[in-house]
Structure 1
Amino acid sequence: MRARTAVLVAAAAAAAVLKAGHWELYADRHRIHLTPVARRSCPDCRGAGGWWTGGPFPEMEACGCWSERRELRIRLLRVPAWPDEPPF
């Protein structure tokens, strides 16, 4: 029972830290992937993550509040190789 409580407290603390640091977490048995998220308090994009540039072919320009931060990846287990041909 104590171990379960400790895990729940650690998960809640990790979620709070990730949200405060503006990170999004993806985890499976092969990897842990942290990606930056736009800040809602950003004065430039106001949490939208960027803005559209004008012209005949508009493009999305990313805001620096998230685009200049690195993604973090931690590999846990190797992904099995995909066979080139079926085994029959």
Structure 2
Amino acid sequence: MAMNDEQLLNFDKERLAHWDEERAARALSGANSAIYRNHLEIAQWIDGWIERMEEGDVGRRTPEHQSGLVAGVREIAAHLRQADFVPDGDLLRD
């Protein structure tokens, strides 16, 4: 079932280094809105994966490895939410 914009944007924006609500609104209404919505869905899935990983993988990784993995994956989710990977997004510009 597809999520509405409110559901897609239901995350802690304080954790993002470069959150721009106007930029997100433009991405949701622009030519690449389907791509951005997909990125928001992926970011939500990543959040759930991190939670499951933290709950179920105790003892399988060193604390340092776990911390680095979680930080790296959260960074990817943040870039997805900030519209950095949509066409002409900050990280896809030449």
Give the TM-score of the pair, scaled to structure 2: 0.26
Give the TM-score of the pair, scaled to structure 1: 0.27
More strand as a share of residues: 1
Max Rg structure? 1
Higher relative contact order (CA 8 A, sep 6+): 2
More helix as a share of residues: 2
